[in-house]
Amino acid sequence: MDAILRQIGELLVNSIPTIISVLILWTAYTFLVHGKLRQVLEQRHALTEGAIERAQKEIAIAEKRTAEYEQRVREARSQIYKVQQANRQRVMDERNAALAESRKNAGEMVKKARTALETDTVGAKAALEQQANVLAGGGGAIRRRIAVPLGAIVMRVRSVANPSFLAGMVARHIAAHPKSHYKLLSLGFRDAIYAHGI
């Protein structure tokens, strides 16, 4: 047993330089290699996973900005729609006002035209009544107009072979057809006699 303890003691004493060299190696690794290795790993993380994280953050920011932009576009469209509706309503109101004004003016023009037509109708009726009264009351003038051509006809009848016979026939014809004396004057006497079948 003493031999075993002695061997263990010798092993421990012999392992002291190894322990010291491991400690020196660990310290040198920590100061010389581990710091640079950590920097390289951090850079690598920054280049890979960090880039992915930045991209995700930028995507989230872009989505947020897109949502804000879409909201602004919706608000702008809503505002434009409201302005268009207001303009449409204003145009419709102006059109309705113009139509109402046109209808009012047309109604006034129709009333004026009816009034003018009634006035003209009354004037025409009065003129016709006056002319009818002149024609009805002016029988003497008409008789005088008939008498002059009748006298001329009688004078021409005297030059014919049988003047009394022809004069009686002409007088009867004129009495039966009062307006025929105009035609008798415009035609010759004999032509008029043949035209009227006397």
Type of residue at 9: G
Supply the mean pLDDT for the chain: 76
What pLDDT is stored for residue 186 in this prediction?
Answer: 43
Q: Higher model confidence: residue 167 or residue 48? A: 48
In which band, very low, low, confident or very high, does the pLDDT at 76 lie, cut at 50, 70 and 90?
A: very high
Mean pLDDT of all residues in 27-53: 84
What pLDDT is stored for residue 178 in this prediction?
Answer: 57
What pLDDT is stored for residue 166 in this prediction?
Answer: 53
- For residue 159, which of 192, 116, 189 has the smallest C-alpha distance? 189
Angle at 88 between CA 87 and CA 93, to 5 degrees: 95
What pLDDT is stored for residue 188 in this prediction?
Answer: 46
Q: How is residue 24 annotated by DSSP?
A: H
What pLDDT is stored for residue 197 in this prediction?
Answer: 45
Percent of the chain predicted with pLDDT > 70:
68
Number of residues in the chain: 198
CB neighbourhood size of 166 (10 A): 20
The answer on pLDDT for 195 being more than 60 is no
